[in-house]
Amino acid sequence: MTQEFSYRWGHSALTADFDLDCRTPRLVRLTVPGEPRPENATESAGAALPLVDVTLLGQGTGWSGPRFTGTALGQRLTHRAHHAAYGDGWHHLTVQLQDRRGGLTVFVEYSSPDAVPVLRARVRLRNDGDTPVTVRSVSSLLLGALPSPDVLDVHRARNDWLAECRWYAEELRESVPDVGRAFHGHDGRAGVRLAGHGSWPTDGHLAMGALTDRTDGRCWLWQIESAASWLWEAGEVDHHTYLSLSGPTADDHQWRQVLDPGVEFTSEYAALALGDGFDGALSALTAYRRRIRRPHPDHDRLPVVFNDYMNTLMGDPTTEKLLPLIDAAAEAGAEYFCVDAGWYDDEHDDGDGDAGGDGDAGGGWWDSVGAWLPATRRFPGPGGLQAVLGRIRERGMVPGLWLEPEVVGVRSPLAAELPNEAFLRHEGGVRVTEQGRHQLDLTHPAARTHLDRTVDRIVGEWGVGYLKLDYNITTSAPGLLDHTRAWLSWLSAVLDRHPGLVVENCGSGGLRMDGASLAVAQLQSTSDQQDPLRYPPIAASAPTAVPPEQGAVWAYPQPEFTDEEIAFTLGSALLGRVHLSGHLDRMTSRQLGLVQDALVTYKAVRDDLCQSVPFWPLGLPGWQDARVALGMRVPFLDTTYVLVWRRAGDDAEVTLPIAHLAGREVRVDVLHGAVGPAAWDGAALRVTLPRAPAVLLTRLTA
């Protein structure tokens, strides 16, 4: 017999059932249309978890062990009120809870975009008592009624410098053993627990995860939207799987928040997408990401950006080197030209750095940055750097500059001019210093004023229309959460003042590839990988973390490459954002023609990319896979793009099943890459890549 719960909320694509009348209010079930409901709803209710778990200093967790769920305070929260609203295409629900023993008021805030099966959540805490309280942890989203660990796989994505977005999966029971609840009366303490640490929030793993049901294909895919630290955890309660998503915690990140009487704190956002399989849930999450981000014309135009760094000038730009590159980039078809690292200092960094340099302190410009003024030796003669920027405009492109705004080198005059309070500091007031650089604290007015003057000079006075904002140190210092929130607030204010400015978010490649940053910046660096043969699994998996129209993929053809190698490195970027580089100025006319042809192809497909959703005909790639494939489906058109790479192996033929086109008549057009047969067999695309390395981009029209 089906049990009805006290409150139902949602819309055409998502339904949430709550039990608000019980002693501990809870979210009982989260479903999408067509999902079968259990005959006995109490079975799905299973894990009687509260809507939120909070730990305070001086109060126990209610559970011996590292698990985040089952806190003493969470079980004490009672329902006081709830309010639902709708506006601007979003459904909102706020549930107000009260601590039965103390003065803490908790507001659990849910939201969901209309017709999109994604639940977004955060928690607001208010101290309505008479004495201060110290918060040690608070969940942003807590859900306890998922299927048993017996039937679930858990998915995670390793994310390392030069090797981003490497998804892997295992059965949840491998980490959450069945300890025999019937014998003990308790669940085990084990769980899958994953944390991101410091100001590179995606260093180690993406701030994401997923659970898939092996019996019916359902998928729950999530992201934690924090530019600082985060934590997620999945385990077992009463034969069901629970999921907890949060920002930083005291035990994992040495974070805490003191709330004086009347003071509030709001957690980081977390989002959970539901879908049929990983691809289906990712489609929903992609639609959601487009809804939460700051509107900007760049998301529709997708201009081609040439950047002089990767495998080209490598942080050593000069007028002499740039002018021929500018001319060649314009001839190739680039629309933006970004002068990368080194333009601000007469010394050359000879370190073995990433995009923007990563040399050791004490050598070159690495530890002297901060003033962001043009180097006179690099740009001699009338006009200096301004003459170079003018040449970019003369050739019909928008000029851009690389900037690493949050750091000040220990040798920079700014290190002494700015007050100590303008920098992040350890306990005792000691400045955070990493690799010869201090970390600014954007909560301080002096730090913000310094960056406002810098950007307004570069954009407002110099006419720069593109900023690559890099970040090549990481720290876990106190105050990091407040700084990262202030950083995104500052960046939003910059875009308010300069609405035409395009901003690329880069954290030593893809180490700052988080949902909070992507909601503000227009582009996201996906990697600093310099080997074109190692880039395909990154380029193919990047759409799991960033919509295709925001994911910047390097394409760095060189004059010493064969025609096939030029096509290969260009092809890797054609279903994302083309970040062109390479010594185009040294190419033959025929070689430059290959670059031009690839960009013509890109410009013909990019209008579709900004409304497409990704899928993976061969599954998400492994790092060593010889063949890699990425598809883009345009939901409102009968158009599908498939990009396939052959990196190695003897088998030239590749079969690519495409479920959404199965049984339909399909026309196949080869747009870029290898010359070989490409045909539709009624259920799959069959292509031949004659040699390795090879790439092929096709358009399928039903």
How far are the Cα atoms of 166, 326, 425 from residue 420, in angstroms, in the given order?
40, 41, 8
| Contact present, 36 and 30 (Cβ < 8 Å) | no
How far are the Cα atoms of 202, 309, 369, 373, 421 from residue 438, in angstroms, in the given order?
21, 24, 10, 18, 12
Provide the pLDDT for residue 349. 55
Per-residue pLDDT reduced to its tens digit, 388-410:
999 999 999 999 999 999 999 99
Given a cut of 70, whether residue 361 has pLDDT beyond it is no
Given a cut of 90, whether residue 22 has pLDDT beyond it is no
| CA separation for the pair 346, 342 (Å, rounded) | 8
| Region of residue 17 (left: phi > 0; alpha: psi -120 to 50; beta: else) | beta
pTM listed for this prediction: 0.96
Given a cut of 70, whether residue 236 has pLDDT beyond it is yes
Burial of 480 (0-12, 13-18, 19+ CB in 10 A): buried
Per-residue pLDDT reduced to its tens digit, 570-599:
999 999 999 999 999 999 999 999 999 999
Provide the pLDDT for residue 696. 97
Per-residue pLDDT reduced to its tens digit, 449-466:
999 999 999 999 999 999
User: What percent of the chain is predicted at pLDDT more than 70?
Assistant: 94
Q: How many CB atoms lie within 10 A of CB 264?
A: 11
Per-residue pLDDT reduced to its tens digit, 31-64:
999 887 665 544 455 566 899 999 999 886 766 5
Alpha helices in 218-375 (DSSP H): 250-253, 277-292, 298-301, 319-332
**Regarding predicted confidence, which is higher, 64 or 523?**
523
Provide the pLDDT for residue 65. 59
Distance of CA 180 to the CA centre of its chain: 39
Helix (H) or strand (E) holding 271: strand 269-276
The 3-state DSSP class for residue 23 equals: coil
Of the candidates 515, 524, 455, the one whose C-alpha atom is nearest the C-alpha of residue 490 is: 455
Average pLDDT, integer, range 291-305: 98
Average pLDDT, integer, range 63-91: 85
| CA separation for the pair 556, 305 (Å, rounded) | 12
Per-residue pLDDT reduced to its tens digit, 489-513:
999 999 999 999 999 999 999 999 9
Per-residue pLDDT reduced to its tens digit, 179-201:
988 887 778 888 999 999 999 99
**Residue whose pair of structure tokens reads 């080997």 in the numeric block:** 531
Q: How many CB atoms lie within 10 A of CB 66?
A: 13
Question: Which residues lie across from 230 on neighbouring strands?
Answer: 196
Whole-number mean pLDDT of the chain?
A: 94
Structure confidence at residue 232 as a pLDDT band (50, 70, 90): very high
| DSSP annotation of 130 | S
| CA separation for the pair 15, 9 (Å, rounded) | 6
Provide the pLDDT for residue 540. 99
